[in-house]
């Protein structure tokens, strides 16, 4: 028996006996590796005479082909067996009940705040924020509130025991107007910004809660007039309520931080016993607004003879109630899952309803 035939009878059983891919690789290296038995036999062909090479050459090459084929066949069989075993381990029981989808939702207030930011961003406004615990100076004094103004009374304002860095009282902010002061004292005009956030007042009924959400807008620039204010509010409300027939009416009013001041009414009609915004059959108060008082501009270190501006504010919760047909403000904060499922928004399935001015 030749050497090639002897190796064949030795190697082929070893290939068949390999229990896994690691053992099979060891057999391959021992046979066909750099220092393998078949490789060493191939190297002897160079030292043979032509007659010997003519006889031994075909035998040695046949050995290499037989070993290579046996290795490939055994490797395929082992890989198939390993795949079958893995599929058996990882099999999914499709008869199991489906895991329920998450039931969380976006609160209507968060949805409306997102809509507001989107609309005003399209109008060139930035979004500013500030602390909810404020000093008396930011919340009242800088905004031109007199020392005996009723808004400072304990029945309207939540006062804290500690004092501020300036020695004054600390309060839970009663409006987001302090953010206007912080913006004006930290940025150089022109300023176009809105300030949404939580505010606190000692009040609670169907349309008032001790904590609610408010958005205010501030513009400080040169040559600003009431006409700019009215256009801004009309454009915002038409985009927010997604109606072109929104009609506004400005009534003279008084706010310490604006002069002149105006309450903003929006027209509505009665349809099927419900109020529907649009038209001018009836009116409801919606916003407060006015030209920024010169004293406020002066308190922020600016010259009121050079810079003018307007400000406005309204309740975010009330905007949500009007747009989405809610009747009681207290339900916003009850945490009733049934209410949240009904009025909440899906974060991915339902995009922001208002497309903004760029839509």
Identify the CATH number of the domain in which residue 308 sits.
Answer: 3.30.930.10
Domain contains 300: yes
State the DSSP string of 302-344.
--TTT-EEEEEEEEHHHHHHHHHT---GGGGGS--HHHHHHH-
Query: Does 266 map to a domain?
Result: yes
> Mean pLDDT for each consecutive 10-residue tract of the chain (359 residues)?
75 86 86 82 79 79 84 89 85 75 80 89 93 92 84 77 82 93 94 94 71 93 94 92 90 92 92 81 92 95 94 91 79 82 70 40
Give the C-alpha distances (Å, rounded to integers) separating 189 from 125, 182, 229, 272, 309. Answer: 13, 13, 17, 48, 10
Number of domain units in the chain: 2
- Within-domain flag for 72: yes
- Residues 63 and 159 reside in one and the same domain: no
Residue 330 lies in a domain: yes
Domain contains 104: no
Note whether 60 and 145 are same-domain residues.
no
DSSP state of 108: H
pLDDT at residue 359, as a whole number = 34
Same domain (yes/no): 236, 293: yes
pTM metric for this prediction: 0.66
Same domain, 195 and 244: yes
The verdict on 274 and 131 lying in the same domain is yes
- pLDDT attached to residue 51: 79
Contact 324, 340 (CB under 8 A): no
Is residue 95 in a domain?
Answer: no
Q: Do both 152 and 262 map to the same domain?
A: yes
> What range defines the domain where residue 178 resides?
109-343
Backbone dihedral angles phi then psi of residue 298, each to the nearest 5 degrees: -70, -40
Instruction: Return the pLDDT at 214.
Output: 93
**Tell me, what's the pLDDT at 208?**
66
Sign of the torsion angle spanned by Cα atoms 152, 153, 155, 161: positive
Report in angstroms the alpha-carbon separations of 325 from 215, 236, 317: 20, 19, 12
* Res 289: pLDDT: 95
């Amino acid at each position: 028996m030749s050497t090639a035939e002897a190796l064949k009878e030795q190697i082929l059983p070893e290939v068949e006996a390999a229990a896994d891919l690691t053992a099979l690789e060891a057999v391959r290296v021992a046979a066909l590796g750099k220092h393998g038995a078949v490789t060493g036999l191939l190297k002897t062909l160079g030292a043979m005479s032509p007659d010997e090479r003519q006889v031994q050459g075909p035998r040695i090459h046949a050995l290499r082909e037989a070993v290579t084929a046996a290795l490939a066949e055994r490797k395929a069989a082992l890989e198939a067996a390993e795949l079958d075993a893995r599929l058996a381990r990882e099999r999914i029981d499709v008869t199991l009940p489906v895991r329920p989808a998450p039931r969380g939702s976006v609160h209507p207030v968060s949805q409306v705040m997102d809509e507001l930011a989107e609309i005003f961003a399209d109008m060139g406004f930035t979004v500013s924020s500030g602390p909810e615990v404020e000093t008396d100076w930011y919340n009242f004094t800088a905004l031109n509130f007199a020392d005996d103004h009723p808004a400072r009374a304990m029945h309207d304002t939540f006062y804290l025991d500690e004092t501020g860095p300036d020695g004054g009282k600390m309060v839970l902010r009663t409006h987001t107007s302090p953010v206007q002061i912080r913006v004006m004292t930290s940025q150089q005009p022109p300023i176009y910004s809105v300030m949404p956030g939580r505010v606190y007042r000692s009040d609670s009924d169907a349309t008032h809660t001790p904590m609610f959400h408010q958005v205010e807008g501030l513009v400080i620039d040169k040559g600003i007039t009431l006409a700019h204010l009215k256009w801004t509010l009309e454009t915002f409300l038409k985009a927010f309520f997604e109606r072109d027939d929104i009609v506004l009416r400005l009534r003279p009013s008084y706010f310490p931080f604006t002069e002149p001041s105006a309450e903003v009414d929006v027209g509505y009609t009665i349809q099927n016993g419900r109020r529907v915004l649009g038209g001018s059959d009836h009116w409801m108060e919606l916003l407060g607004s006015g030209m920024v008082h010169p004293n406020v501009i002066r308190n922020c270190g600016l010259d009121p003879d050079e810079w003018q501006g307007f400000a406005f504010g309204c309740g975010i919760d009330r905007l949500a109630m009007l747009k989405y047909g809610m009747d009681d403000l207290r339900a916003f904060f009850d945490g009733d899952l049934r209410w949240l499922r009904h009025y909440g928004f899906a974060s991915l399935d339902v995009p922001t309803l208002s497309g903004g001015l760029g839509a």
